[in-house]
């Protein structure tokens, strides 16, 4: 592994143990500034991946993350944040980590080398040709991830490889490879640092851009959020109020009439129709709020009272 960029020694931190606390912090910050630039260089590959994910999800497929260690944990994290943010079912974006859920908080020795486990893990999730797999391997050579990507291609699923090393083994088993090269870590080989940050940025972009393309936002408003706590309920009211022009009290009442559904409340208010007719307009517009606000009113729709 000595040839991997992520395993190289960083000359800037060669004497990090002799630095003051402030100097260590400043050094790490300087290194972290390289991450965004590295991700930016992968914009075209990321966009290609987003288009593939969007197309598959729009026709009934799912997005599955597969990784080991830090990579696996980041995949599970991103997947777990989609339901409250975009009101997606938990089965739509799924994170699988080598070694199972126990590996989320404990290192499972040898799990990343278990090639057979990747296939069985995917099969246990009923992974199919309709789905997209994002195999996350900072090194680009993790056997667990390589095996999963190969299986994805074998069954006709779309395979996306995510690594922080160029020209890796992922290239041979992926339909598209995203490889932000962030350079050697401040602590040699500790890829939870810059590589982990780059991975998180890429995963954020994959799901967020996909959800935008699927109509889960209106402008930059989170109109498909699931209001499961006080903060999110308050946010729902602000969103409805801002888009419709209703007072916050009126917006709260509109949401109450629409079972807390932000998009339904907005369409009902803006189009002056009953909640069910608003839902029908959204269905006709494939869930895209902007289109639902422009479509012709449904025949027989009742004005709201």
Tokens standing for residue 191: 């890829």
Q: What is the 3-state secondary structure (H, E, C) of 232-261?
A: HHHHHHHHHHHHHCCCHHHHHHHHHHCCCC
Residue 218: DSSP 8-state: B
Tokens standing for residue 10: 């960083």
Name the residue among 201, 165, 197, 156 with its Cα closest to residue 184: 165
Buried b (16+ CB within 10 A) or exposed e, 52-74: bbbebbeeebbbbbbbbbbbbbb
Q: How far apart are CA 27 and CA 37, in angstroms?
A: 17
Q: How far apart are CA 93 and CA 77, in angstroms?
A: 11
Tokens standing for residue 153: 């291609």
Q: How far apart are CA 162 and CA 136, in angstroms?
A: 5
For residue 190, which phi and psi values (nearest 5 degrees)?
-85, 80
Q: What residues act catalytically?
A: 81, 112
Tokens standing for residue 168: 């890796």
Positive or negative, the CA dihedral 92, 88, 214, 160 is: negative
Q: SS3 for 112?
A: helix
């Amino acid at each position: 592994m000595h040839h991997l960029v992520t395993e190289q020694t960083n000359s800037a931190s060669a004497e990090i143990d002799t630095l003051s606390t402030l100097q260590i912090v400043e050094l790490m910050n300087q290194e972290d500034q390289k991450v965004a630039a590295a991700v930016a260089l992968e914009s075209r590959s990321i966009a290609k991946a987003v288009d593939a994910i969007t197309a598959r999800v729009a026709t009934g497929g799912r997005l599955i993350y597969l990784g080991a260690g830090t990579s696996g944990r980041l995949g599970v994290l991103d997947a777990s944040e989609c339901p409250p943010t975009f009101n997606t079912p938990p089965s739509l974006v799924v994170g699988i980590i080598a070694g199972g859920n126990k590996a989320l908080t404990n290192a499972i020795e040898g799990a990343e080398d278990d090639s057979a486990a990747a296939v069985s893990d995917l099969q246990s999730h009923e992974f199919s040709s309709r789905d997209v797999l994002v195999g996350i391997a900072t090194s680009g050579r993790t056997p667990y991830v390589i095996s999963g990507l190969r299986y994805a291609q074998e069954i006709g699923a779309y395979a996306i490889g995510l690594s922080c090393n160029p020209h890796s083994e992922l290239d041979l088993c992926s339909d598209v490879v995203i490889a932000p090269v962030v350079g050697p870590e401040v602590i040699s080989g500790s890829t939870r640092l810059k590589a982990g940050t780059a991975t998180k940025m890429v995963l954020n972009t994959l799901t967020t851009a996909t959800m935008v393309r699927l109509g889960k936002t209106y402008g930059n408003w989170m109109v498909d959020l699931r209001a499961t706590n006080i903060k999110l309920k308050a946010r729902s009211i602000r969103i409805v109020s801002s888009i419709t022009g209703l007072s916050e009290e009126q917006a709260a009442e509109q949401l109450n009439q629409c079972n807390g559904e932000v998009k339904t409340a907005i369409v009902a208010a803006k189009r002056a129709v009953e909640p069910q007719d608003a839902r029908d307009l959204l269905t006709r517009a494939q869930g895209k709020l902007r289109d639902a606000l422009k479509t012709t009113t449904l025949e027989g729709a009742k004005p709201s009272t």
